[in-house]
Amino acid sequence: MYRVLILEDNPLEAKGLELLIYEADNNIDVIHYNNEESAYNYALNNQVDLFIVEIKLKNGCGYNFAKRIRKLNEHKMTFVIFATYIHDIRSTAFEHIRCYDYFIKPIDNEAFKASLLEILDYEVVQRDPAMLIRENKASYHVYHRDIIWIDVDTKNKETLLNLINFNVIKLTSYKYPIKAVEKELGRNFIRIHKSNIVNRDFIEEVGPDWVRLKNGMFFKIGKTYAENVVKRWERR
């Protein structure tokens, strides 16, 4: 799952940023820290795909945090957006931090969401991710691009990955529950039902309560997932 770390010590503003992120895409894991050191320690040991940073903090400095993460190999090119009250280091932030965007508070909500969507769409195009499977004392990778849909066989307690070559990979549900698989696969896959996830690259058409794939298969959209399915599909 795509992960965003917010470094902001004002709880209301952090919550506002979080809500804007979820308006853009609610299939995102949002982490919030209010001080430089805690945020850095998290970034040091965990995947983060985007940092949203306030520069002026009570405990630490957001600009210093950004300089520190740029020294980490895994975050040399990770996206950084500054959302701050500080006006006078915009050019420095672009030049030395290589930030993607810089917003002066109070931020323009629509401009912020537009910038976020640009980043998310770029990530989908650029990545060629694979899911690591560990079953029966062996391990292997399955490329996300090869998975058409996922469903659950409750009778046999299996999570099924249906692939483009008509193969079906059967995973034990206790080890690979559908919620964990959804988190692993990320935002190019859309949860349409409690028992189904589909790769949006294989969707042909979306109706009010159904999805038709390019191979002609139909899936029913669960009521609790309908709004998110339509929103994410129409962004294509």
Longest dimension (CA), the chain: 62
> Domain check: are 207 and 220 in the same one?
yes
How far apart are alpha carbons 194 and 183 in whole angstroms? 14
CB atoms within 10 A of CB 32: 18
> Domain check: are 104 and 78 in the same one?
yes
- Which pLDDT tens digit goes with each residue over 191-218? 999 999 999 889 999 999 999 999 999 9
> Domain check: are 154 and 106 in the same one?
no
Answer whether residue 183 shows pLDDT above 90: no
Q: Which domain holds residue 212?
A: 130-234
> Under a CB-based contact definition with an 8 Å cutoff, are residues 78 and 49 in contact?
yes
The residue-averaged pLDDT of 109-120 equals 93
Boundary residue ending a domain (71, 93, 126): 126
> Domain check: are 111 and 224 in the same one?
no
The CATH code of the domain that includes 82 is 3.40.50.2300
- Percent of the chain residues topping a pLDDT of 90: 68
- Which pLDDT tens digit goes with each residue over 60-100? 999 999 999 999 988 999 999 999 999 999 999 999 999 99
> Domain check: are 32 and 100 in the same one?
yes
> Domain check: are 12 and 38 in the same one?
yes
Going across the sheet that includes 203-206, the strands are 203-206, 210-213, 218-220
> Domain check: are 112 and 134 in the same one?
no
Query: Nearest CA to 101 among 213, 17, 202?
Result: 17
> Domain check: are 116 and 17 in the same one?
yes
How far apart are alpha carbons 117 and 15 in whole angstroms? 19
The CATH code of the domain that includes 178 is 2.40.50.1020
> Domain check: are 12 and 111 in the same one?
yes
The dihedral through the CA atoms of 198, 201, 202, 203 has a sign that is positive
> Domain check: are 36 and 111 in the same one?
yes
Q: What is the pLDDT of residue 220?
A: 96
- Which pLDDT tens digit goes with each residue over 134-179? 888 888 888 888 999 999 999 999 999 999 988 999 999 989 999 8
**Number of structural domains in the chain:** 2
> Under a CB-based contact definition with an 8 Å cutoff, are residues 62 and 37 in contact?
no
> What are the structure tokens assigned to 154, written together?
């409750």
Q: Which residues pair with 138 in a beta bridge?
A: 135
> Domain check: are 147 and 103 in the same one?
no
Q: Which residues pair with 85 in a beta bridge?
A: none
The residue-averaged pLDDT of 212-236 equals 89
> Domain check: are 137 and 95 in the same one?
no
Boundary residue ending a domain (126, 153, 168): 126
- In DSSP notation, the chain reads -EEEEEE-S-HHHHHHHHHHHHHH-SSEEEEEESSHHHHHHHHHHS--SEEEE-SB-SSSBHHHHHHHHTTSGGGSS-EEEEEES--TTHHHIIIII--SEEEESSP-HHHHHHHHHHHHHHHHHH---EEEEEETTEEEEEEGGGEEEEEEETTTTEEEEEETTS-EEEEETTTS-HHHHHHHH-TTEEEEETTEEEEGGGEEEE-SSEEEETTS-EEEPPGGGHHHHHHHHHT-
Boundary residue ending a domain (78, 108, 126): 126
